[in-house]
Structure 1
Amino acid sequence: MMTQTPELPLHMRRNGLSPVEELAWARDGEGVVRVETPFGLPAYLVCRHEDVRQVLSDPARFSSALTPFPGSGQMNADELAKMQAGQMIGFDPPEHTRLRRMLTPEFTVRRMRRLEPRITEIVQTALDDLERAGKPADLVAHFALPVPSLVICELLGVPQADRAEFHERAVRLLDTSLPMEQRVAAQREDRAYMAGLVDRAQADPGEDMLGMLVREHGDDLSTDELIGIAGLLLLAGHETTSNMLALGTLALLRHPDQLAMIREDPAQVEPAVEEMQRWLSVVHSLPPRTTTTEVEIAGHAIPAGSLVICSLPAANRDPAFIDDPDILDITRGAAGHVAFGHGVHHCLGAPLARMEMRIAFPALLRRFPGLALADAYEQVDFRVFSLVYSLRTLRVTW
């Protein structure tokens, strides 16, 4: 029996490295349009930069906690409670604040700077592996994926040997073309794996982040919350950054003048990272919010109890936010973009992601000054049904 591939929701549609024109029309026209979520539920899609910031900064009217948990229809109440525990992105203040407060000290810019020497080593090791693979080589497999995966593994205390296993699960968790049964199965596998990690950390807390949470907050966090926090950090810590490294490299190869600027001038790296975040917006949207009262956005009345989705690519390319939004210009820095979200759910790991990219891009471009695509751009294989836009492979030569 053949399974029909679902239609791609508007906010997930891309044309290579850019959002589709229909998304820009929605933003520049109505500003808010009716869509379906990847799970088939009706929702309002918010497209303008200022409106997206408004939604994301107002958890009282746009609730994360009231939004249905993906796959909840296939779980009983006990399993659903276990799956939701510790998932900060699914809570509103004050519960969200309680969970996040325990993690915030570990993700400050100052703490991240202590990781810089180790991240530099991991990047160099990955570059050695890429070179040993011989040209043409897959940049995703040998560089973009290993760097953030190894960093988050070491940070959380995850065995490096398990990297391939959790990446395969992550791909299934994020693939909206799969039947919900398969994605729920991946959720269950992931939780079982995380439960094993937490059990070992509780028995013998190490110096990693899980060990820290057990030692310092063991009385404040339930075992289910520890499992949820670990799973969320592991998924978010490698999927988004690995895809930014791959897609960012592809974007620079399409803009060789800007690639050369990053390679030759260290001062260009930080603004380049911000601009690439804005221009690529690898996360299509954050989890939907549910309105707690009737609200008005861009002149549209949205009833209480409605799902609201924020399009991050549309917002980040809003001409009301930034001039010439469809042009990649690494010199401008793009302060104020929403690629990391906004408000109380602003990405906790943003300082870590920025540091990884700031180290990785120049190191790659200096090691391989002749870096080039091994295939035509039209042959690049995008994961179009992934909740985090990504590449399956990126074959490069040098």
Structure 2
Amino acid sequence: MSNMKKRISVIMAAAMAMSMTVTPIHAEEADKVTLSFWSWLPTTDQSEEMIAEFEKQNPDIKIDYTRTEQDDYFEKLQVAMASGTGPDLFGLTTGAMEEQYAPFAEDMSGLGDEYWSDWKDIISETAVEQCTTEDGTVVGMPLLVAGMTDLLYNKTLMDECGIEKVPTTYEELKDAAAKAKEKGYVCVAAGAAEDWVNSDWFVQISNEFEENAVYEAEKGERPWTDQCFVDTMTAWQNLFNDGIFEDGALGVKTYPDARDQYFFARKSIFFLTGSWHIGPTSPSNSEIQGTEIGNQGDTIGMCVFPSMSEDGKICGTAGVDIMLAVNKDCKEKEAAMKFVQFMADGDGQQYWVNYLQGAPVSKNISYAGTVDGELQQQSIDEVNSYVSNAVGNRKLSNSEVETAIQVAMQNVAAGANPADELKTVQDVQDAQ
């Protein structure tokens, strides 16, 4: 055999050997089901561990996760769904967003009955109810329950400023703001550029001026121009006029700006958020590692937002923080439901609860993490108490009215008359 023929034989043999070793790998990958998943939660850090564990337990399923910050996510999802290019699985909030995307989502009740027979015995009935439209469609599986509105607070900086106690009234909050300013700190870092934060605050605080009035107005049973809503809008305006929020709060987003550039950077005493953000009360929480408050070893706690009414009444609002929906166009619904079950009742749910991202929806899951922060247990107890005793849902279902309230709040914060702005909300209600 010539040298040329020998070389050709060697090359062909090597090629055959390579094809024999590569083919099984390609075949294995081809056999995997890939599910696209879009949401704002879990966070990037959380998703890596949670999805890796799911794929370990389900080696035949791959989760292709795309995370987007909440406001940007809402925009992105709307465009994708309208064009028929939406993901297999997607996160939703209750209320207006739930109603908006119900036509695109499979009825979770039917999917649950088909692929997870005892789900109704496991998942909180109240949480499922909040994920259900008026016509009885369960738009998504609830994953976490959270309360709004809260303040993360830096006890170390409070002590430095001479703020002796966590504020529970507006007068105490104003006193804290004056003391914070003397030391060069912002009092409350607020992401008022994000409408969902603002309307959540409005729903909660309006209940302090008159309990349940906001839900009655949404149903058209009373006008939005009633005094309790004027008082709520005036209280909102005061937060800007009295220097409680940072300068330029209307241009600041909650995440990452208010959190990272103010609170985590030790530039503010408080941070306006929800109960899902209780994690930093633990000094070992991964979110604060490498931040200024983490490096300084500051003591962090969480409390309910102070009362804005003269009688000092505090009313908590709570609800499903996120639900997981399955797209009607999803071709692999059985695989999708395996991921839904993992997130609602499996290790994904346990991970989130231990991370203190929110209260569990599964009756099988409870907090099993460590308590290593000075104020952590106290904060958990306070948050759990108001979530359990919430007077109502933190979200409104009427998207047009909710949007009108959000626009009015932006205008009021910029100096508009609260009563006049509420008339525009009533106009939207009347036009329906």
Class of the TM-score when normalised by the shorter of the 2 chains: under 0.3
Structure with max Cα Rg: 2
Give the TM-score, by structure 1 length: 0.27
